[in-house]
Amino acid sequence: MAIEIERKFLVRGDAWRGAAERSEAMAQGYLNQVDGLAGGDLASVRVRLEGPRAALNIKSCEAGRSRQEFEYPVPVEDARALLALCTGGRVEKQRHYVPHGGHLWELDEFEGLNAGLLVAEIELSALDEAFERPDWLGPEVTDYQRYYNIALSQRPFSAWSEAEQRGLGEGEDAR
């Protein structure tokens, strides 16, 4: 069984851009609804086109830093057909890979209805693993489900209130 340990952060400024090793276009959608995060479903099922590759991904529906994750390559044409079956909207983004402090950060620069949102993710090998915080790293949003891609597919960034877009939603502070 594969366990993903991931933390999400907002990003400040563009200082990271010069350090990006590469970037890749992604399009993804979900075969189940976001309400699964609230206890209805036990897993989310995602299909993703990632550059010249495609994958089917299944993640346990748990908020927080750790969850089960399974990913399987699928033919690109199958992925395109599956995207047409997805609920909600499609999430489109450019993923930028930025090395920093011995880790590879993935910065998702969202497009379309999620344009304006920039989220950095880091995958860790343990819940308590230490990591160096780059200067461009903003507040942590790991525990806020609205930043999960499945939530963005059904309630995009463009539908958020101004306070939510500034990262000041329910339960958050100004940091």
Is 66 exposed, middle or buried, given 0-12, 13-18 or 19+ CB atoms closer than 10 A? middle
**What pLDDT is recorded for position 88?**
83
pLDDT of residue 174: 39
Check if the beta carbon of residue 17 is closer than 8 Å to that of residue 75. Answer: no
Give residues with Cβ within 8 angstroms of 144, minimum separation 6. 169, 171, 172
pTM of the model as a whole: 0.89
Residue by residue, pLDDT tens for the chain (175 residues) are 588 899 999 999 999 999 999 999 999 999 987 565 555 677 889 999 999 999 999 988 777 788 888 999 999 999 999 999 998 889 999 999 999 999 999 999 999 999 999 999 999 999 999 999 999 999 999 999 899 998 899 999 999 999 888 876 555 543 3
Please tell me the predicted confidence (pLDDT) of residue 1: 57
**What single-letter DSSP state applies at residue 102?**
T
**Alpha-helical regions (H) of the chain:** 76-83, 149-154, 162-165
Please give the pLDDT value at position 171.
52
Q: How far apart are CA 69 and CA 120, in angstroms?
A: 19
- The residue type found at 15 is A
- Whole-number pLDDT of residue 43: 83
Pairing of strands 53-60, 43-50: antiparallel
46 neighbors 56 (Cβ within 8 angstroms): yes
What pLDDT is stored for residue 38 in this prediction?
A: 54
- What gap in Å lies between CA 147 and CA 131, rounded to an integer? 21
CA atoms of 151 and 13, how far apart (whole Å): 24
DSSP helix/strand/coil, 164? helix
Q: What would the DSSP string read from start to end of 17-36?
A: GGG--EEEEEEEEESS-GGG
Please, are residues 27 and 110 in contact by the beta-carbon 8 Å criterion?
no
Q: What are the CA-CA distances from residue 161 to residues 16, 132, 155, 156 (Å)?
A: 27, 32, 11, 11
**Token couple for 174:** 């100004």
